[in-house]
């Protein structure tokens, strides 16, 4: 048959039946299969469209428009029924599971600062209250500020003791660079920039190759120092004891134990009594390792050589310095038996603070 006539007959036979078919469809599935009968690959309208290629050019525009108009009608009718069906489904759903609009909403859980941040702020606040000002320093540091000016000679075993992460900085190969092993670099930086009197605290991340229940390769320290005329070891003891009593309560057992750091003379480490064990369980305590003490910080009177390296007259001025481990302070303050818990970020652990 002549394709023009075939299309014309097909269109007039097409009629309006599809409207009734769509209206009768009670589910999305039947609606879609009714649509496929018209517009699917083998659908009636699709078959008519296929004939268009054989229609003479002068008839093509008129017939094309007629077929497309039918197609648009079918699509609009299909979409309207689809909307009706989904509205009805939603209404049925709401009726089946009625809900109480007056119920209060679920409040999103409120977060809070990480326990280490809380402890760092508590420590810095305490020292600010004692008259110290807060400074900061870089984590990627020159060997000079981390070791040399602090009187560690090159290749001194003490630099091994801290087991350093060295860093290659492109374009600056001549200056040896590292991830700072302690916050004492801030001491050097501040003392090189200004003259006494000065009392400064500074907190931040430091890095060493350490890893066990009381040691982490990345941990946090707070450094503090006071330089002025007549500053003595008794000032050091007074300030640190006041600090530890604020952290752990008046009367907490504290001991100053002589120790060596190349940048102080004399030097000490300060321990607080371990409260993770008792006299009887002490031998197997993983935190104090049977000593009944937990080391919190290192301290001492700043070595005159360090003052001179930083341009401060060591005949006129003296000073003390200390560096404490924030994780250790937090462990003892909150009874955390393993330092690694502080870095795993398990919400069940963090929710306890
Ligand atoms: C120092 O880092 C010295 N810079 C401290 C200092 C400053 C001494 C000023 C004198 C004057 P030390 O290596 O002991 O010292 O570390 C200080 C504290 O950091 C320790 O008492 C401990 O509380 C903590 N600490 C050390 N290593 C780790 C580690 N790997 N993980 C967690 N805490 C650590």
Nearest to 224 by CA among 129, 158, 160, 333: 129
By most ligand atoms within 8 Å of CB, the mutation choice from 159, 323, 332 for ligand 1 is: 323
CB of 208 closer than 6 A to ligand 1?
A: yes
Over 106-150, what HEC string results? CCCCCCCCCHHHHHHHHHHHHHHHCCCEECCCCCEEEHHHHCHHH
> What CA dihedral angle connects 230, 323, 330 and 115, to 10 degrees?
100
Instruction: Compute, in angstroms, the gap from residue 323 CA to the centroid of ligand 1.
Output: 6
CB of 216 closer than 6 A to ligand 1?
A: yes
Looking at residue 157, its pLDDT comes to 64
Instruction: Compute, in angstroms, the gap from residue 332 CA to the centroid of ligand 1.
Output: 15
User: What residues contact 318, with CB distance under 8 A and at least 6 apart?
Assistant: 227, 228, 229, 230, 231, 232, 301, 302
Least confident range from 29-43, 66-80, 153-167: namely 153-167
Instruction: Compute, in angstroms, the gap from residue 299 CA to the centroid of ligand 1.
Output: 9
Atom of ligand 1 nearest to the CA of 320: 11
Please tell me whether the peptide bond between 266 and the residue prior to it is cis, using omega within 30 degrees of 0. Answer: yes
CB of 261 closer than 6 A to ligand 1?
A: yes
Distance CA 104, CA 13 (A): 59
Per-residue pLDDT tens over the stretch 70-109? 999 999 999 999 999 999 999 998 888 878 889 898 999 8
Pick 133 or 215 by higher pLDDT: 133
Looking at residue 12, its pLDDT comes to 85
Looking at residue 158, its pLDDT comes to 59
Distance CA 350, CA 110 (A): 12
Instruction: Compute, in angstroms, the gap from residue 184 CA to the centroid of ligand 1.
Output: 10
Instruction: Compute, in angstroms, the gap from residue 124 CA to the centroid of ligand 1.
Output: 17
Pick 10 or 115 by higher pLDDT: 115
Centre a 10 Å sphere on the Cβ of residue 100 and count the other Cβ atoms it contains: 5
Tell me what the mean pLDDT of segment 26-51 comes to: 91
| Joined tokens for residue 109 | 């859980």
CB of 321 closer than 6 A to ligand 1?
A: yes
User: What residues contact 307, with CB distance under 8 A and at least 6 apart?
Assistant: 191, 227, 313, 314, 317, 319
Per-residue pLDDT tens over the stretch 42-64? 888 898 888 888 888 898 899 88
Per-residue pLDDT tens over the stretch 280-309? 888 888 888 899 999 999 999 999 999 999
Looking at residue 273, its pLDDT comes to 93
| Joined tokens for residue 302 | 């700043």
Distance CA 62, CA 48 (A): 14
CB of 296 closer than 6 A to ligand 1?
A: yes
Distance CA 241, CA 185 (A): 24
Tell me what the mean pLDDT of segment 125-149 comes to: 95
Instruction: Compute, in angstroms, the gap from residue 77 CA to the centroid of ligand 1.
Output: 77
Q: Which protein residue has the closest C-alpha to ligand 1 atom 32?
A: 215
By most ligand atoms within 8 Å of CB, the mutation choice from 132, 161, 182 for ligand 1 is: 182
Cα four-point dihedral sign 352, 252, 231, 145: negative
Give the global pTM: 0.72
Pairing of strands 140-142, 177-179: antiparallel
Instruction: Compute, in angstroms, the gap from residue 295 CA to the centroid of ligand 1.
Output: 9
Please tell me whether the peptide bond between 293 and the residue prior to it is cis, using omega within 30 degrees of 0. Answer: no
For residue 161, pLDDT over 60 is answered with no
CB of 298 closer than 6 A to ligand 1?
A: yes
Looking at residue 35, its pLDDT comes to 94
Instruction: Compute, in angstroms, the gap from residue 221 CA to the centroid of ligand 1.
Output: 7
Cα 172 → chain centroid = 30
CB 49 within 8 A of CB 6: no
């Amino acid at each position: 048959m002549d394709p023009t006539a075939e299309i014309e007959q097909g269109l007039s036979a097409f009629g309006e039946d599809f409207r009734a078919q769509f209206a009768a469809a009670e589910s999305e599935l039947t609606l879609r299969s009714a649509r496929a009968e018209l517009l699917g690959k083998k659908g009636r309208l699709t078959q008519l469209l296929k004939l268009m290629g054989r229609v003479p050019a002068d008839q093509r525009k008129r017939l094309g428009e007629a077929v497309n108009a039918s197609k648009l009608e079918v699509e609009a009718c299909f979409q309207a029924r689809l909307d009706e069906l989904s509205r009805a489904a939603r209404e049925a759903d709401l009726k089946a599971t009625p809900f109480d609009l007056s119920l209060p909403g679920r409040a999103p859980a409120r977060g809070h600062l990480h326990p280490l941040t809380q402890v760092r702020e508590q420590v810095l606040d305490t020292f600010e209250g004692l008259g110290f000002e807060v400074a900061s320093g870089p984590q990627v540091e020159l060997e000079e500020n981390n070791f040399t000016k602090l009187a560690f000679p090159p290749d001194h075993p003490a630099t091994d003791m801290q087991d350093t992460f060295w860093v290659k900085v492109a374009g600056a190969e001549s200056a040896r660079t590292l991830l700072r092993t302690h916050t004492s670099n801030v001491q050097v930086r501040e003392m090189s920039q200004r003259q006494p009197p000065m009392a400064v605290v500074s907190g931040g991340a430091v890095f060493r190759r350490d890893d066990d229940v009381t040691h982490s390769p990345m941990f946090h320290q707070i450094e503090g120092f006071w330089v002025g005329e007549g500053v003595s070891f008794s000032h050091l003891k007074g300030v640190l004891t006041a600090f530890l009593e604020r952290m752990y309560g008046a009367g907490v057992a504290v001991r100053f134990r002589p120790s060596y750091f190349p940048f102080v003379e004399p030097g000490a480490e300060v321990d607080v009594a371990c409260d993770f064990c008792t006299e009887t369980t002490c031998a197997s305590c993983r935190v104090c390792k049977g000593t009944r003490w937990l080391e919190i910080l290192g301290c001492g009177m700043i070595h005159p050589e360090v003052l001179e390296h930083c341009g401060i007259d060591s005949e006129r001025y003296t000073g003390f310095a200390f560096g404490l481990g924030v994780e250790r302070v937090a462990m003892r303050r909150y009874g955390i038996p393993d330092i690694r818990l502080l870095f795993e970020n398990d919400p069940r652990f963090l929710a306890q603070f």
